[in-house]
A and B are shown apart, each in its own frame.
Chain A
């Protein structure tokens, strides 16, 4: 079964510093990987996805993520965090063999950017 682990409950970072949110996955085959962001009292918004090809994926709002097959990781990064990046971030995985587009989500990471 596909699954995702987001090992940290909360990530605190000073404004202007690099931001990293960690994600590791488990699938039986090749993965499709996604990052979503949730602002307070809102639905999830898509940030970026890895399907195939270049291991560094660029997405919305200056975010990027690096796919590492040997470490089964897909960490989200931003070079310089903004206070407005404070939100809940979810990593999700889908197995390539699964035809129903079902995603398995991690439990989420609260990011707090300190002014």
Chain B
């Protein structure tokens, strides 16, 4: 299993440009999440998808959109990038079935710089 994969690993954008961060998992997990990591602020949830066909806002959704393309893939789109969106973005997934409490699995991250 590759686990959770993210593309690209690095990206530099100019202010106002758009891009899509891709995430895929091969563990047949139901729920997927997008986080951003900024120094001294931990991980903050941007959007999540509890199951295929549903998406919900997290803590910091402004400036982002998401698409749960199928059970495997969950993409994050920046329509008009701003310097405040310079961050490291992590995708995560979790099994989320039955009464068992599972842990989230994380991808390797995408380091985005907006100039």
* A86 CA / B6 CA spacing, docked (Å): 25
Secondary structure at the B interface, as helix, strand, loop or mixed, is strand
Listed in ascending order, the chain B residues whose CB lies under 8 Å from chain A are: 4, 31, 33, 35, 40-45, 48, 50, 56, 58, 90, 92, 94, 96, 101-109
Asked if A100 contacts B31 (CB within 8 A), the reply is yes
Asked if B4 contacts A34 (CB within 8 A), the reply is no
Name the residue of chain A whose CB is nearest to the CB of B103: A46
Interface string of A48-77 (1 = CB under 8 A from B): 010100000000000000000000000000
17 more contacts with CB within 8 A, not counting A45-B106, A100-B31, A103-B104, are: A32-B101, A34-B103, A41-B109, A42-B108, A43-B107, A43-B108, A44-B106, A46-B103, A94-B101, A100-B48, A101-B31, A101-B94, A101-B96, A102-B33, A102-B45, A105-B44, A107-B40
Closest Cβ of chain B to A50, distance in Å, is 10
Asked if A44 contacts B42 (CB within 8 A), the reply is no
Listed in ascending order, the chain A residues whose CB lies under 8 Å from chain B are: 6, 9, 32, 34, 36, 41-46, 49, 51, 90, 94, 99-103, 105-108
Closest Cβ of chain A to B59, distance in Å, is 9
* A6 CA / B43 CA spacing, docked (Å): 13
* A108 CA / B43 CA spacing, docked (Å): 9
* A42 CA / B105 CA spacing, docked (Å): 12
